[in-house]
Chain A
Amino acid sequence: MFDLFARVFGREDASKDVAKERLRLVLVHDRASLSPQVLDDLKTDLLKVISKYLDIDQEGFQVEFSRHDESMALVANIPIKRRRV
């Protein structure tokens, strides 16, 4: 009964809601992340495809995961020297 009153009169969030929210956010990242090796493979493949169309400055080529609270993004920085086609 005490719990019921406590809830009604605005006790802090039930801890299970905190747990759920934290899990939701951590899983967004867990589910999207790649291992460093696989990320390297992805970069290599990406470079191959883009190089068919553009001459790229390989030194400055960067692909990284970017964490946001609600989502995860793959952010690429691809400096272009000139087009190929």
Chain B
Amino acid sequence: MGEAIVITSGKGGVGKTTTTANIGAGLAQAGSKVALIDADIGLRNLDVVMGLENRIVYDLVDVVEGFAKLRHALIKDKRFDNLQLLPAAQTRDKTAVSPEQMKDLVETMKEEFDYVLIDSPAGIEQGFKNAIAGADKALVVATPEVSSVRDADRIIGLLEANDKRKPYLIINRIRPAMVKRGDMMDIDDMIEILAVELIGVVPEDEAIVVSTNRGEPAVMNQNSRAGEAYRQITRRLRGEEVAFPKLEEESSLFGRIRRMMGLKG
């Protein structure tokens, strides 16, 4: 029996879909059998981030309505045989499925896959309720900004109210240089405010834009710092103990001299 993990945030555009794609590819790369569900009905995107948009025949709503069999709707990834995507419907809306239906679907998929990752839409309405319905675990994505952290706090409260286990936090788009000069909240600030366990810190990285352009998750790019962060999250999800590296990418001579002088950072 596999595990269902929902990736959610409250606020839109903070990196849920990017996170789902990368963790999915990361888990598959590590050998797990993985299914991704795009639960953002009406605004489907996970397919393009994964580079699978041309393979879609059926979608989640077709399956729920009994119009298509699950195995016919699942799309095989180009790179990994053990990674599949169930795309969202594009011409329907969030009310096309109910939380109960989602729960049944996820339950069925857990029999076949080690991990079922669910990409949640933004918001706290029905789309969110559908996305969390079948999940055993939740990852809350937040960027180091007031509005994003505030919305994450709301989502954490709602997950609790829905009897979900305490979620894990992914901090996305952190910019070490800004943190260093005190112009961006750091990891400790966010953990202290949200009082949840951290499972990953993903830096702002141009490689994300490039990899999204190409439809190839950055987790497969050995030179990407965000890719490295996603590889670490993957290992943590698989139960490995992985230390959080210091949020410092600075390797300039100047930086080293500063550290030698005992100055902060």
| Chain A residues packing against B (C-beta within 8 Å) | 1, 3-4, 7, 14-17, 19-20, 22-24, 26-27, 30-31
| Residue contact A20 to B193, C-beta cutoff 8 Å | yes
Is chain B's binding surface mostly helix, strand, loop or mixed? helix
Q: Please choose the segment from B27-35, B50-58, B145-153 that sits at the chain A interface, where 4 or more of its residues have CB less than 8 A away.
A: B145-153
Chain B count of residues within 8 A CB distance of the other chain: 20
Name 9 extra pairs, CB < 8 A, besides A16-B183, A30-B150: A16-B179, A16-B182, A16-B189, A19-B146, A19-B185, A23-B146, A23-B193, A31-B153, A31-B157
Q: Kindly supply a per-residue 1/0 record for chain B positions 181-208, scoring 1 wherever the CB is within 8 Å of any chain A CB and 0 otherwise.
A: 1111110010001000000000000000
* Chain B residues with CB below 8 A from A26, complex form: 146, 150
Known: A26-B150, A27-B150, A31-B153. A16 touches B193 (CB 8 A): no
| Residue contact B182 to A30, C-beta cutoff 8 Å | no
| Residue contact B185 to A20, C-beta cutoff 8 Å | yes
Tell whether B260 is near chain A: CB-to-CB under 8 Å.
Answer: no
CB distance from B246 to the nearest CB of A (A): 18
| Chain B residues packing against A (C-beta within 8 Å) | 145-146, 149-150, 153-154, 157, 179-186, 189, 193, 258, 263-264
The docked-state distance in angstroms from the alpha carbon of A30 to that of B10 is 14
* Chain A residues with CB below 8 A from B185, complex form: 16, 19-20
Q: Which of B179, B189, B258 contacts A20 (CB 8 A)?
A: B189
| Residue contact B182 to A27, C-beta cutoff 8 Å | no
